[in-house]
Structure 1
Amino acid sequence: MTLQLFPAAQAFFKGHGAENDFILLPDPDHRLVLSADEVRRLCDRRTGIGADGLLRAVRTAADPEAAAMTAEAEWFMDYRNPDGTAAAMCGNGVRVFARYLVDSGLAPPGTVPIATRAGVRHARVPARAHDFQGPVTVLMGRPRLPGPGHIKVTVGRRRWPALHVDMGNPHAVVIIDDLEHAGDLRTPPAVTPASAYPHGVTVDFAVLGSARHLQLRVHERGVGETRACGTGACAAVAAVLHSSSRAAARAGRYTVDLPGGRLHVTVTADGALELTGPAAIVAQGAVTLTSPGVPRPWARRPSPWRP
């Protein structure tokens, strides 16, 4: 008798961008039903695969949530935080997602459009070479500073003013003198007023080095402290630009160092931000889901994806 380890297995891939790691589930025909409990189980580092988030790769035409973007992008990144909640954008996640599409032959090298809940993002992925962790760049768009003002972030006895920056997801950016002042970041820093972020917020603690160099630690909404945060790096640069009166500081490339590695943020001529950093697929396998997929009337065509 042959022992079948995965009687109802779902293929998965594991990837990371600057040690910000993700589970990627191929679901081209939108057949998976992922509950919040399922996502939490998969992302748990002791009882699951372990990750800072989960990416589901589904065709835009197959998913009603993304169908309006079908003309612009073939693939939709359904991003889930490890607490099971859905999120609009993840800068490192979208770069890992783009790397997966190219490495799997689902998209050609070059510019890859990807649909997200924050809109379509365009990633530039080089052909796979000897460096499988080679850089991937994604155009993140222009940051928004919608307010409100008078936001404060408190850690222990320290309190700082923060700037609200929207990169497709909300950030409260604090400029501090020493990253140790951010504390252990095991629990979310206190942000006031509470009404400013009714659904929670990612808090970014930035230390300015030279005019174009930042050090950053991030407590991600629904995650905790992560080794790197792509949207956080962009939000921190946007906060520096907002606070700087020097015209020379408003253009060009910025270096952002995080615990998991180095990211680069380039400010384009029209004020948009490009995020560049390593992105790699490091493992693949199969996992048994407790909430199996179900047939859907809009997803009956055969999939060209082969595990």
Structure 2
Amino acid sequence: MTTQRPYATACHFAKGHGAENDFIVLPDPDGQLALSASYVARLCDRRSGIGADGILRAVRCTAAPEAATMAADAEWFMDYRNADGSNGSMCGNGIRVLARYLVDAGLCLPGTFAVATRAGVRQVDVPDRSPTFQGPVTVAMGRPELPGTTGIEVVVAERRWAALHVDMGNPHAVAFVDDLDHAGDLRTSPIVAPVGIYPLGVTVEFVVDQGPGHLALRVHERGVGETRACGTGACAAVAAAMRQAAQPGPARYIVDAPGGRLHVEVRSDGAMFLTGPATIIAQGTARLTF
């Protein structure tokens, strides 16, 4: 077994984003890196670090104990960490950025391949290997779970909205609002009631219906804060909209976020496919002192 070691003063990285939801990619094929929560938070800090909404550690499943059971189905594991250093189970934009990196770096061939996550194995499609390619990249997101939990509310200032619980491999509370500005500045987490319903936190979507097959949203992501886009959040918003309208699949939705546009396809069996831009914008070495 390879002995893990923490980064000392330097680490190689790539920086990428999907619809301005940005990530630091740390290539670690042999699983040698031990990332503490404090180190992750430092790297993601936008003043003293590189700055990002999260970290994507690219490690082979055979070198990652928590992904070992998925090694027969996927070569690579996405070890996703939120900006506060906590573990993340699934990230729709992050997995597309990671897939873009793996192809650009020559670690995977263009086309469809599997990536393991804490929420299970996901299929991604990267149709081009050009380093200047901006997208689109597609990921099979699976089927949303809507357990019908009732009584959930989201509160911002004096406004209060009923919310729908949607699980996309991570938990979401989706609230439909009249105006996205009603979400406030989202510098602090919206209040989600009843207290304790999400003991590990929840990502909150504020969604405006823009017409048939068209949504706009803002997102407060657990462990991060407001993000410019959210892939699982876009899928959760579509699932909530379809449930609210009693709309069966198949369907196609445009979801506009502050950072760009995402596309969600819902097939007749309920499976969701997320498509949007994913690009690597920089690579280098970060040097941090502790």
Normalising by the smaller structure, the TM-score range is over 0.9
Rounded to whole Å, the distance in 2 between the matches of 1:211 and 1:91 is 23
> Contact 2:49–2:288 at 8 Å: present in 1 too?
no
Rounded to whole Å, the distance in 2 between the matches of 1:155 and 1:251 is 34
Structure 2 residue 35 is the aligned partner of structure 1 residue 39? no
The letter for the 1-side match of 2:281 is V
> Contact 1:38–1:290 at 8 Å: present in 2 too?
no
Q: Show CA shifts across 1:113-150 (max 9, x none).
A: 00000000000101234851120000000000124311
The letter for the 2-side match of 1:44 is D
Rounded to whole Å, the distance in 2 between the matches of 1:8 and 1:148 is 47
Map 1:54-69 onto structure 2 (within 5 A): 54-69=55-70
Deviating 4+ runs (over 6 angstroms): none
Structure 2 residue 278 is the aligned partner of structure 1 residue 282? no
The letter for the 1-side match of 2:119 is A
> Contact 1:151–1:191 at 8 Å: present in 2 too?
yes
Rounded to whole Å, the distance in 2 between the matches of 1:129 and 1:33 is 31
Cα 1:8–1:47 change in 2 (3 A) is closer
Displacement after TM superposition at 1:290 (Å):
5.9
Map 1:141-290 onto structure 2 (within 5 A): 141-247=142-248, 250-288=249-287
Q: State the secondary structure of the residue aligned to 2:284.
A: strand
Q: State the secondary structure of the residue aligned to 1:40.
A: helix
Q: Show CA shifts across 1:235-272 (max 9, x none).
A: 0000001111345xx32210000000000000012111
Map 1:116-131 onto structure 2 (within 5 A): 116-129=117-130
Unaligned runs of 5+ in 2: 1-6
Q: State the secondary structure of the residue aligned to 2:102.
A: helix
Query: Which residue of structure 2 lines up, in the alignment, with residue 21 of structure 1?
Result: 22
Cα 1:48–1:130 change in 2 (3 A) is closer
Q: State the secondary structure of the residue aligned to 1:10.
A: strand
Unaligned runs of 5+ in 1: 1-5, 292-307
Q: Identity over the aligned pairs, expressed in percent?
A: 67
The letter for the 2-side match of 1:56 is R
Q: State the secondary structure of the residue aligned to 2:196.
A: helix
Q: State the secondary structure of the residue aligned to 2:85.
A: coil
Q: State the secondary structure of the residue aligned to 1:87.
A: coil
Alignment TM-score, normalising by the size of structure 1: 0.90
Displacement after TM superposition at 1:10 (Å):
2.0
Q: Show CA shifts across 1:91-129 (max 9, x none).
A: 000000010111111111110200000000000101234
Rounded to whole Å, the distance in 1 between the matches of 2:131 and 2:98 is 19
Rounded to whole Å, the distance in 2 between the matches of 1:100 and 1:283 is 11
> Contact 1:148–1:196 at 8 Å: present in 2 too?
no
Larger Rg: 1
Aligned residues: 284
